[in-house]
Amino acid sequence: MKYQSSDLVPHKSAPLFTPANILNEDVCLPAAVIKKTALENNIQWMQRYADARGVSLAPHGKTSMTPWIFQQQQAAGAWAIGVGSAWQASVAMASGIRRVLMVNQLVGKANMQLISQLKSAYPAVEYFCCVDSLDNARALSAFFAARNQTLDILLELGVPGGRCGCRTTAQALTLAEEIARLPALRLRGLELYEGVLHGDNPQPKVEALLRDAAALACELERYVDGEFILTGAGSVWYDVVCNVWLEAPKPANCRLVIRPGCYITHDEGIYLEAQNAILARDKTACDLGGDLASALELVAMVQSVPESDRAIVNFGKRDSAFDAGLPQPIAHYRAGKSRELAEKSIETTGIMDQHAMLKLAPGTDVKVGDILVFSTSHPCLTFDKWKALLLVDDSYNVLETLETGF
Amino acid sequence: MKYQSSDLVPHKSAPLFTPANILNEDVCLPAAVIKKTALENNIQWMQRYADARGVSLAPHGKTSMTPWIFQQQQAAGAWAIGVGSAWQASVAMASGIRRVLMVNQLVGKANMQLISQLKSAYPAVEYFCCVDSLDNARALSAFFAARNQTLDILLELGVPGGRCGCRTTAQALTLAEEIARLPALRLRGLELYEGVLHGDNPQPKVEALLRDAAALACELERYVDGEFILTGAGSVWYDVVCNVWLEAPKPANCRLVIRPGCYITHDEGIYLEAQNAILARDKTACDLGGDLASALELVAMVQSVPESDRAIVNFGKRDSAFDAGLPQPIAHYRAGKSRELAEKSIETTGIMDQHAMLKLAPGTDVKVGDILVFSTSHPCLTFDKWKALLLVDDSYNVLETLETGF
């Protein structure tokens, strides 16, 4: 049952004046904005990193689910876009993406049907999904064989206590043998996500998993015609993935693919920390020049200052991630003019569905109607709160409305 | 910048077969479903409660932001729909809602502009917003006076350490006097949200706030022409709000309005607890017969069983609330057939963006491709992950696609 969407405002941060500037209150606040300069910087930086290492880049698109961003990533040289579901694959293909790496299992009749339809609708697009069980392999084989279609698959290697993926290389090899006997499935390589490894010092565990994967790839090589795809790496260990896999023995015709996602907007929270660790340990990242920059901001307005040390702003859990620390203010404007924001003078201490609570240090001058700009962490869960984000220049002029595909 | 949305699938849980049954895998999973029987029960139950107490019901629409649900609530007798922002007000008005209670401050040029446009586009709709500061009152007065429009406002009363709202009745009275001198603003009553009161035994504090509010209402009466609107109550204290306000001295022509929101789908988490407390202490709720029922479910599929005590399902933080406990399985199906789900045999122990991790008790038979149905808490943050939810009958046949307006 559809409703007649208002002509007045197509989405919740729609600009209501033209041309629109965020600081001039031309846009319904709160709004999620993407700073174009930082976004372009990040797209270029990560592509240059991959190029410098001689690996392919398949940015994980689930972070932004923003077709315009997918297009920029592809135009800059991305080999593929990563996705997490059949629906996300459909958004990527509808956006003109030519290779879609679904780094997840494809399960259920409707999800398989959607992929089958996409393969018909976009015959030139290469699509991959992951398999880690014979049950799933058999279901996929039966479904696609009945439609005379072939499905390109990657075996997934996992870790005990982790997420999906075969738990041992022996299991993976057995599964590969069985897959080789099933119609409609074409094994193309090996996938893992080392980001599930945690703990005090996960790097040795990450490296061991990567070495195991390279050795497994050598054994799987005989089941793969043509190029062998070996892929891993979220935004935290992409340097280590390159280091280990570039050095390790691997299939002769092997394409290494890294899949960072959150680099696209970066943040000033968990991903800033991760990137700082990479810069501290990785020569290529250091020598590359420049760095990732925070590109996603939440712009909100003070709606109440009910106590001298307390202000309420008009964003909440409906607008922002809150699972990796609360959004914190990084800039303060009054009547379009920037004001000094002393460190810790304004701190977000609570969040409800439609409000956030700020603690004001003594003497901090905050008024109803002031605009505050917030950084958020992690980016994925801010993106998915918005039907559209606003692309802005460094002066917060709105350049484009970027629709999302959640 | 728009993208060409795929004709194949308009939203992420789109049915791909007709007629569609969830358990038959006709729908891309995961999917968020609304059980029609439970939804209708909840709409009726809360309306009957309000009717039995002789108060008006303004369901907080921010929970569902689903126009079809707003329409059902209005048709069942709701006096108004509550919203939290100008954007939400626009969705309610575009849905045919005749009275919109924005229980929040209206700030910023674009948000005011949107309300101004809505007042022109929907002249028969009554719209209210809340004011708790002279700064905001002056800004609203200047904006709407310049457009020859009148804005109906409610004074907001708050509590120290709480959210918005005047902190004392004296402040509120002073503000009312000042508002009376400003053009374009018409004071219509008093609003509060007692749900910000927490602690070990908040009931006495809630009751004290409500008594203060009633006394303040008597003093504010002279600033209000016609009916005085006195409104409070989320889903946790609506009985207490009725008890105190029905007994307290109040303005002669006073309309009491309660604003529960989450009752619409209820849940099996924090709102089940809250409702049980109400049933335990409130005679009207007890005598009414029946009760609220959980109406919002998440249906997902097992995509991997990588260890004997561990399964991975294909929903995650992109699909569900996770701020009030993780979604927990309430039903298990294999090939369309229901299976016994022993208590604690399957427990959700972790969630990532696109996956949830389940712990399986020894001997629990879970396979790749099994469907699990989950209850979630709290409902607001599950709704806002979906462009559309599926209305289903008790056998999970899809009856309607319900678009949301987030």
**Chain segment B44-56, per-residue pLDDT in tens:** 999 999 999 999 9
Minimal-distance CA residue of chain B relative to A317: B381
ipTM for the assembly: 0.96
Is the model's pLDDT at B314 over the cut of 60? yes
Per-residue pLDDT of A349-394, as tens digits, reads 999 999 999 999 999 999 999 999 999 888 899 999 999 999 999 9
Cβ–Cβ below 8 Å for A306 and B164:
yes
Query: Given the structure tokens 């001298």, which residue do they identify?
Result: A308
Residue of B1, B13, B162 with shortest CB distance to A401: B1
Cβ–Cβ below 8 Å for A384 and B318:
yes
The size of the A-B interface in CB pairs under 8 A is 282
Query: How far is residue A66's CA from residue A68's CA, in Å, rounded to a whole number?
Result: 6
Among B401, B100, B386, CA closest to B259? B100
Residue of B9, B161, B312 with shortest CB distance to A163: B312
Query: How far is residue A327's CA from residue B185's CA, in Å, rounded to a whole number?
Result: 34
Cis check: omega of the bond before A378, within 30 degrees of 0: yes
Cβ–Cβ below 8 Å for A164 and B108:
no
Query: How far is residue A135's CA from residue A145's CA, in Å, rounded to a whole number?
Result: 15
Amino acid found at A9? V
Q: Is B155 on the interface with A (CB under 8 A)?
A: no
Residue of A105, A306, A355 with shortest CB distance to B167: A306
Q: Is A315 on the interface with B (CB under 8 A)?
A: no
Query: Given the structure tokens 């358990």, which residue do they identify?
Result: B23
Q: Is A351 on the interface with B (CB under 8 A)?
A: no
> Residue A354: its pLDDT value, please?
96
Q: Which two tokens stand for residue B400?
A: 């309607």
Cβ–Cβ below 8 Å for B380 and A318:
yes
**H helices within B181-269, ranges in order?**
203-220, 238-247
Residue of B67, B158, B310 with shortest CB distance to A306: B158
Kindly indicate whether the domain formed by B22-34+292-403 is annotated with CATH number 3.20.20.70.
no
Amino acid found at A307? E
Is the model's pLDDT at B84 over the cut of 80? yes
Cβ–Cβ below 8 Å for A93 and B6:
yes
Report B:229-268 residues touching A (Cβ under 8 A).
none
Q: Is A120 on the interface with B (CB under 8 A)?
A: no
> Residue A5: its pLDDT value, please?
58
- Give B10's pLDDT tier (boundaries 50, 70, 90): confident
Cβ–Cβ below 8 Å for A354 and B104:
yes
Q: What does the mean pLDDT of chain A come to?
A: 96
Q: Is B202 on the interface with A (CB under 8 A)?
A: no
Locate the domains of chain B by residue range: 22-34+292-403, 60-260
Residue A186, C-beta contacts closer than 8 angstroms, at least 6 positions apart: A150, A151, A152, A153, A225
Cβ–Cβ below 8 Å for B165 and A400:
no
Q: Is B65 helix (H, G, I), strand (E, B) or coil?
A: coil
**CATH superfamily, with its number, for domain A60-260:** Alanine racemase (3.20.20.10)
Is the model's pLDDT at B1 over the cut of 90? no
Q: Is A36 on the interface with B (CB under 8 A)?
A: no
Cβ–Cβ below 8 Å for A28 and B93:
no
C-alpha distance from B287 to closest chain A C-alpha (Å): 32
Q: Is B87 on the interface with A (CB under 8 A)?
A: yes
Q: Is A138 on the interface with B (CB under 8 A)?
A: no
Report B:48-77 residues touching A (Cβ under 8 A).
62, 67-68
Among A243, A363, A368, CA closest to A304? A368
Query: Given the structure tokens 């220049």, which residue do they identify?
Result: A393
Minimal-distance CA residue of chain B relative to A63: B353
> Residue B129: its pLDDT value, please?
98
- Best of A17, A305, A353, A382 to mutate (most B CBs within 10 Å, chain B): A353
> Residue A89: its pLDDT value, please?
97
Q: Do the Cβ atoms of A317 and A352 come closer than 8 Å?
A: yes
Cβ–Cβ below 8 Å for B385 and A380:
no
Per-residue pLDDT of B317-365, as tens digits, reads 999 999 889 999 999 999 999 999 999 999 999 999 999 999 999 999 9
Query: How far is residue B158's CA from residue B195's CA, in Å, rounded to a whole number?
Result: 10
Q: Do the Cβ atoms of B27 and A86 come closer than 8 Å?
A: no
Q: Is A179 on the interface with B (CB under 8 A)?
A: no
Is the model's pLDDT at A263 over the cut of 90? yes
CA atoms within a 13 Å half-sphere pointing along the CA-CB vector of A167: 11
Among B257, B311, B309, B276, CA closest to B103? B257
Which strand (E) or helix (H) includes residue B33? Answer: strand B31-35
Q: Is B166 on the interface with A (CB under 8 A)?
A: yes
Q: Is B125 on the interface with A (CB under 8 A)?
A: no
Amino acid found at A306? P
- Best of A83, A107, A116 to mutate (most B CBs within 10 Å, chain B): A107
Per-residue pLDDT of B192-242, as tens digits, reads 999 999 999 999 999 999 999 999 999 999 999 999 999 999 999 999 999
Cβ–Cβ below 8 Å for A302 and B107:
yes
Q: In chain A, what residues touch B25 (CB-CB under 8 Å)?
A: 108-110
Query: How far is residue B325's CA from residue B382's CA, in Å, rounded to a whole number?
Result: 12
Residue B54 neighbours by CB distance under 10 Å:
9
Q: What does the mean pLDDT of chain B come to?
A: 96
